[in-house]
Amino acid sequence: MKPESDPMQNAPPIDAEEGRLGTPVDPDGLLNGNELYINRELSQLEFFGRVLEQAADPAVPLLERLRALCTFSSNLDEFYEIRVAGLKEQCLLQSPVVGPDGLTPQAVYARVNQRVRELVDQQYRLFNDMLIPAMAEQQIRFLRRPSWNLAQAEWIREFFFAELMPVLTPIGLDPAHPFPRVLNKSLNFAVELEGKDAFGRNSGYAIVQAPRALPRVIALPPEIAGCEHGFVFLSSILHAHVGELFSGMTVRGCYQFRVTRNSELFVDEEEVKNLREALQGELPHRHYGDAVRLEVADNCTPAMTGFLQQQFGLAASEVFSVNGPVNLVRLMQVPDQVDRPELKYLPFRAGLPKVLHEHSDIFRAIREGDILLHHPFQSFTPVVDFVRQAAQDPDVVAISQTVYRAGHDSVLLSALIEAARNGKEVTVVVELLARFDEEANIGWATQLEEVGAHVIYGVVGFKAHAKMVMVLRREGGKLRRYVHLGTGNYHHQTTRTYTDFGLLTCNESLTQDVAQVFSQLTGRGQTHCMTHIWQSPFTLKTGLLEAIRREAGHARAGRKGWIVVKMNALLEPDLIQALYDASRDGVRIDLIIRGACALRPGVAGLSENITVKSVMGRFLEHSRIFYFHDGGAEKVMLSSGEWMERSLSRRIEICFPILDAGLKERVIAEGLKPYLADRRDTWQMAPDGTYERQGSRDGEGAQNILLSALT
């Protein structure tokens, strides 16, 4: 597979005298101290903005644009639950700590809320002015109360009394009924009342919490809706009939609101004796953490907004008034309810490497040579078959696997349970602190322990984020190791929507390295030098620094120096400084960073040899690829981790080489070349941290090229 333009072969020329690429940019003051770095939170918000731009792209199928709009909301929710919540705590504690960018927590917090307000306003304009009219043209309509005809109003009334009213619990506020504990991200209504109730109590305010079990958009029968797909918001139904909950009283106003809370779990890892028990005790509190954001409908009166703001202890800057439903993320269900394939991405059948077509025995196929899988363009099924066959194979004596995110219905973990029942030695390193997957992971740990598997919770203080499966098989009187190493989680849903690489191998030296990592995770002892794998928190950072400096040495000696890195985030200051130094030495550096990037490209005298681009497409870019030209040897590494301080010092990550020459060329040809050549879905980063879309929306993006080539 060769793209029309091959930037791996046709690099822009380097000026012989200057040793620099392109036209340098030198904004005033960028070379001074902390201004060398872009703030992480603000850079992450720029990524969210690029997600939002997908919803505005007319070349993206209409219902996928709606999904992108909902994804933006979901991303923003988690951002507030974790990142903004942490910032707020620092502000409350008056923390003097500043990041590499030199900004105080207070300065970052103010800028974040300001930028979010701009993005949210853009989101609702897009929803109201572009997506709703475009969907209406396709006979997909959201029916608003003023437009209901008699038949629609009657159907909705019947739905309210049959499905909604029985599960509603209105709470009138008075000294005996204080403001209720509102669940994180739940839909609620603040109701303003007038009159007296049956007990003669003066009314005032009441709170109605929408049942979480009910969908937020209700599909009407086509004959009632008057169109092929008609929906009504649950909030509209309650607005229309809220008076039924307060008999004999007058409703003066009914206003949607939604609060986002701090969802970070606090577990004192130095004091805890049983991590799982501590975590199980902490999980219920996640829904009721401190409030960090309040969203209200724009019809909410200043008095009611002020009342809610006071109840949640929030400042005015933390309140967001929106022109529409306060919980747009719940519209994610609409595309699944609309059977209009032409308004969605075309389905595809994931491909398989040729060797797996020829052999049903996965172990025989691996013995013939390493197997590279490129998801989602190639199927994840071989990885499932690898574990399933191991579970049933009488020659397999042991299976070990790491689990970070696997979901509630993992076929891989079900296979491990079967393996344990079949008498295999099964060891599973379960990361209990995988954020928002803690409950699922606790459930799997319990099930695995019940069938006799060895369940390890990793190393306290270091999240086990590496993606590894190791199978020990007896062959010809000897034991042989087979392993799978990946850049993505063992989660069947994300393998269909995230781009990732996986390697199946029985290479003796590489599998020996993997065995050492498992030994560290499950036992005790000092680290040993590994042949191939770089591992955090021990050798990954130093390995990367040495590779960057070696590339700089080639450039200083007059040889070609070239680094290409594709990953999700670049934030670690020492690695950024090493890239700056390499750029000054004349190394060409191409960075394909999906999300947050603290490095400033294109700065004269610092980084004019560095370009940063972000590729946004149908799939979430998730693979981590590190390419070093290395004097023509072309070192290609795949990794489970980012270039972030947490990944390099507080997590257990692995970075492994592609040793087979043919597979190395595949990683370059599939994982790097199309992205460097992409002129459809690429956003170029400027020195100030902003991004501009490159090329034409009518062009062919990297992901489409790979879909054509691999499926």
The answer to whether 261 is annotated as binding is no
Q: Which of 374, 465, 484, 554 is catalytic?
A: 465
The answer to whether 83 is annotated as binding is no
CA-CA-CA-CA torsion for 543, 544, 545, 551, nearest 10 degrees? 110
Q: Distance between alpha carbon 315 and the CA centroid of its chain, in Å?
A: 29
Decide: 617 and 609 in contact? Cβ < 8 Å: no
What's the token pair of residue 605? 């005298």
454 C-beta neighbours (distance < 10 Å), count: 15
Q: What is the DSSP letter of 212?
A: T
Decide: 275 and 283 in contact? Cβ < 8 Å: no
Q: Note if 465 is an active site residue.
A: yes
Decide: 615 and 682 in contact? Cβ < 8 Å: yes
End-to-end alpha carbon distance in the chain: 12
In degrees rounded to 5, what are phi and psi of residue 482? Answer: -120, 140
Closest CA to 533 of 462, 467, 463: 467
CA distance 56 to 69: 9
The answer to whether 20 is annotated as binding is no
CA distance 241 to 246: 10
What's the token pair of residue 213? 């079990």
What's the token pair of residue 92? 């409350």
Q: What is the DSSP letter of 711?
A: -
Which residue has 């670690």 as its token pair? Answer: 572
Q: Where are the alpha helices (DSSP H) in 451-539?
A: 494-497, 508-522
The answer to whether 622 is annotated as binding is yes
CA distance 336 to 347: 14
Give the largest CA-CA distance in the chain: 90
Which residues have CB under 8 Å from 220's CB, separation 6+?
143, 152, 155, 156, 230, 231, 232
Buried b (16+ CB within 10 A) or exposed e, 417-427: bbbbeeebebb
Which positions are catalytic?
A: 465
Binding site for Mg(2+), by residue number, is: 405, 435
Binding site, by residue number, is: 75, 405, 435, 498, 594, 622
Binding site for ATP, by residue number, is: 75, 498, 594, 622
